[in-house]
Amino acid sequence: MNKYFLTTPIYYVNDKPHIGHAYTTIIADVVARYYRQKFGFDNVFYLTGTDEHGAKIAASAVKAGKTPQEFCDDVSDIFKSKWQELNLSYNHFVRTTDKQHEAVVQEVLTRLKSAKTPLGNEVIYQGEHEGLYCVGCEAYVKPEDLVNGKCPFHNKEPELIKEKNWYFRLSDYAEILKEKITNKEPRVLPEQRETEVLSFIEHGLEDIAISREKVEWGIPIPFDPKQTTYVWIDALVNYISALQYPNGDDFKKYWPANVQFLAKDILKFHCLIWPALLLALDLPLPNTLFVHGFFTLNGQKMSKTLGNVIDPSDMVAEFGVDATRYLIISQFPFGDDGDVKQNDFVTKFNADLANGIGNLVSRVIGMTEKYCDLTVPEKQFTAELNLSEFWQNIDRNYQDFKINENIKAVWDLISWCDGYIDSNKPWALAKEGKQTEVEQILFNLLEIIRNISLAIEPFLPTTAQKISEALNCDLNFVKKEEVIKPKTKLNKVEPLFLRK
């Protein structure tokens, strides 16, 4: 079926959005925009949102002098505002304090209560647990997970907690999870993450708490109102609650997800617990779980203490929306750990955007005005360049989420055009009176630029629209194979990007 459903993790509202949050969400937007080109706008569902329950949120609200709901409303609105500023085209922004989401969580828990595991045991049961709990992670941790007695992600000592909770019998799903993941059902990408998940299974899966006894800010357990739903179970359900599980039209159309994006610190929750929950609910698993790495900023971990957290709004103010999207996602291959070099932003902006695509479009439109009265010549495409192969590679890369390879492919095309201009020298041919040759060169360049505008639309949507307006043609993705129409009157174009 030509549909596409993709998700980002939902972001915890104890922190304001920074470029770490933006990175995953922009990547998802790029993929969503590409598949809208492929399948049509009404066949793609892009989901993001905010995670709003748990002890950490309640504590942050008290510190801010607000009720938990007021605190969540304020921070969630900030996320929405930032995502709109970055021109993110999500279809739904889910909040775990939405009444509809809370109802689905309770429906899921009720179904789990009566379900059986593959080994014939009850899926959930009551038990008592004593263990180390990291409030920052909102998760129990083992002593061997700690570094010098502290959580490696939050640099804080966990609390010793003893509670009577409801448990999900994850241990009974070890073999089926191993079988599914080994058979790429789902694909866990990049491959080293699959290896990591299988290693967790080999070392043994322990049952997990799905409720909290001493946390009031959460969704009540429907069959035990004195307990609230463990925040991670609550959060994971968002991926189906947003589609109005179990009977909503969107759920019937879009589930299972084509891809779910996440960072590697939440790998266990998404690649083990989430598939097990879906199996317990007798639901199909996502096609792909893509786990991207961490990035540092100028060689250092981003930290509010160090004061090196970048607000995407500051980048938008300096570089503009499209350039900010580009600078964030083009730093290193998607999936890898990497370092964002803030001092290189201006250099990359000038090289790739102002001097790269911006200069190419200005040059070609300018020469078309000078030599062809701003009109597409009456020619056919003759450049020794296989644009069909270009698009096949683009599609293949999107299937494997090789976003940076597609960015490179576009900039290779831009470089090819620059070389084509410099080697053919249309200005020199014009002086010699070789108008036919000049027109052929410009037609070829205009057709390649039309293809470039289609290829950059997922990550530079406004720039793509400006180029299509200059070429006086629609961003018609369905008809990529068509060629720019001769005799089309072009429009003058303002510089796409001004050098910094």
Instruction: Write out the catalytic residue numbers.
Output: 18, 21, 134, 137, 151, 154, 301, 304
Distance between CA atoms of 290 and 24, rounded to whole angstroms?
A: 11
Nearest to 33 by CA among 4, 11, 10, 1: 4
Coil, helix or strand for 90? Answer: coil
What span, in angstroms and rounded, lies between the C-alpha atoms of 224 and 336?
Answer: 43
Structure tokens at 422: 């410099």
List residues bridging with 127 in a β-sheet. Answer: 165
Q: Are 312 and 319 in contact (CB under 8 A)?
A: no
Structure token digits, residue 122: 């009850």
3-state class (DSSP) for residue 355: helix
Residue 7: phi, psi to the nearest 5? -135, 150
- In total, the chain counts a number of residues equal to 500
Residue pair 138/210 in contact (Cβ under 8 Å)? The answer is no
Do residues 324 and 315 make contact, with C-beta atoms less than 8 angstroms apart?
yes
Instruction: Please list the helix, strand and coil fractions of the chain in percent, rounded to the nearest 5, in that order.
Output: 50, 15, 35
Give yes or no for a contact between 403 and 397, defined as CB atoms under 8 angstroms apart: yes
User: What's the rounded Cα separation, in Å, for the pair 132 and 160?
Assistant: 5
Considering only CA atoms, give the Rg of the chain. 26
Whole-angstrom distance, CA of residue 88 vs CA of residue 26: 7
DSSP assignment letter at 489:
B
Q: How far is CA 440 from the centre of its chain?
A: 41
Strand partners, 133: 140, 159
Strands 259-263 and 159-168 turn out to be: unpaired
Spacing of C-alpha 134 from chain mean position: 27
Give the closest residue to 178 by CA, choosing from 80, 44, 311, 271.
271
What burial class does residue 13 get, using C-beta atoms within 10 Å of its C-beta: 0-12 exposed, 13-18 middle, 19+ buried? buried
Give yes or no for a contact between 294 and 263, defined as CB atoms under 8 angstroms apart: yes
CA dist., res. 220 & res. 206, Å (int)? 24
Measured at the CA of 31, the angle between CA 387 and CA 344, to 5 degrees, comes to 85
